[in-house]
Structure 1
């Protein structure tokens, strides 16, 4: 191979290699090949690679391969080289700790090769000196992720313990849910997903859902708080418990299939400062006499099957229309509940009427008692006069 005239750099390197061989590194059949473009140090006399100014390889070496050692210095020794350090100067810092490893000078400061903001503690990595941004270079929060992708964020434990997902749906709405996947309890039952879900697509606004049975089609607990065109529900599978708010109206409905028990009183706001147009009730007894108390059974087999006492809404509406409301439940596709329209009675509204009816009745009783007492006295007087006449 034709040898070209070497630059000063290659001459220096050639001298160093010659000295090394002279000191007895004769057990390696080392070949130095130089060209105008570079130097090759190898064992098979191949030319240096066209892209390299220095090409070192172990091809042809028998036994254990060898590496290249760069200068090994302490951290203090590295810092002492800072002044006048050439761009690209590389050393290996031997001090134990985060600074240990290869460093290069970028012309203004030392940079660690493979440098990361993450610190190591054994097999663990940590970062506690700032905020982390994914998709943003200016995070406001400790962990902030931004993306225009439909699939935004997903975190899942493959053991089925935790699932957290946040998506931006195709139509631009937002979606966030937290789910606990199915897990047997060891007794033949299955806890099928528990959801904490938020979406904004004119459907669920907030969804809390838990299944506790073998059939996920029939959930045991269910809560939906809708926004937009939706409504608010609180439902329970089987014997349903429902809270329904027909949007835009003042009709709040609690639907219970079964009994309601509590160890405290049920109270309503009744402060005079909250009321206006206060008027006494009249003709309470006359009005109550037009209402029939009845016994009945519910048609719906899901409701209580025992004999019930109460009134009929249509009957009450003829006398006290303000105590009767007509409501419509919008139904729910998840619980297969159809829309229903029916009348309800404000039984508490009868309290005022019954109080006045008792007072009217008591007034009548007291008036009659006064009349009876007067008549009794008159009769007693007459008996005394008759007795006196008979004794003459």
Structure 2
């Protein structure tokens, strides 16, 4: 395309309408590089920039213009509305692109189109003039009795009764109560002064004062609860947070004042109204340098735990042989349990995790003195099921005498035991090794080469000396908070002590056979001697 030239004929804003126009009239004349005026329909892009070169496009639209002898006339803004903020800049510039060719230079839009700005001349910062209150002076309103509706917006300080407000709202009055709130012409609140410069806040409820907050006097609330950090107080004062006191203390109904964080002597606790509390985390610590003495006609301490924890926990962190928990019950002879424990799984459990090379005891019992029968450790098993008065998973050692009941007065249907030697001859003695099981099964079988009988074989010969036994263990033993996973191992055991009477009888039978044989030998020897 040949280079085009434009001659601006008219650049104005038409005011032929009752309302302020929203378009700009623009006339021009297009000619090619040879000076020939165009007589055709051409597409023209109109762009408004904020600078005469480069810059930012503020508005653009495209129109098809009909040139007659080069002259064309358009209204800018009929395709894309002109924004009211377009002429907020100092000098907007118009650029034309005809048939893809940018015409230069840009044309500055003169002052006439600035009449578009008059569209929002009745607005202030986007607000209508009806949103503002009229005043006779710049900063003063003195129209007694006037009322208004809607919102009043003030961007600076407001003074009531003073021409020099120093804060967002400054109220000055010669009376003691400059501010009062009313509902249906009745006062519900009041902010005032006692006349000496000290202010106060008063709240009413159908006449009488229900709350008072004074600057230099007593403040009070007549009824209701007060919440700090919570909108749902459940007591006269409910604080959801920390209460801090830098002086003074807490005064109790008996007239005493607690001024320090340490606890004083607990001299008495009234049942039902004494020490109580609760929580889900943390611990309660009582530090005393003297014994904490508790007394009751019922349980002295009644503790309940609902989780995987201890109802009562005692720990001795000293270096001496003191007790984590020490119990004494009635030192009178023959009465009282120093400790009594009842459990759904284990009544008493003793654990030792030694780290040294000394002698350690998981459960220790000791008794001495007196002329009666004493038991350091006493176990009693009864009832149906598999019960053991004592069960040891591992080696068992003792010093002293191991005895069992054998009193004739405890026995009935006493019969001689015969053919013991024959039964002994049927027994096979074996050497063997125990299978080693996982430690978690807590079976405690001995290691090394063993000598003994096989229970199943002995059961065919002397079934009375073989018993069915059960070893139970918890797979999760020692895992804090874990559910119990109890399994059992069924096995046959041999009463080796019960074999002793059988061996005695067998030896007696064998001795009788020997004596009979000796007598027979003597008789045969005598017969031989007689034949000589």
Q: TM-score, normalised by structure 1?
A: 0.46
User: Rg: which structure is higher?
Assistant: 2
Higher strand content, 1 or 2? 1
Higher helix content, 1 or 2? 1
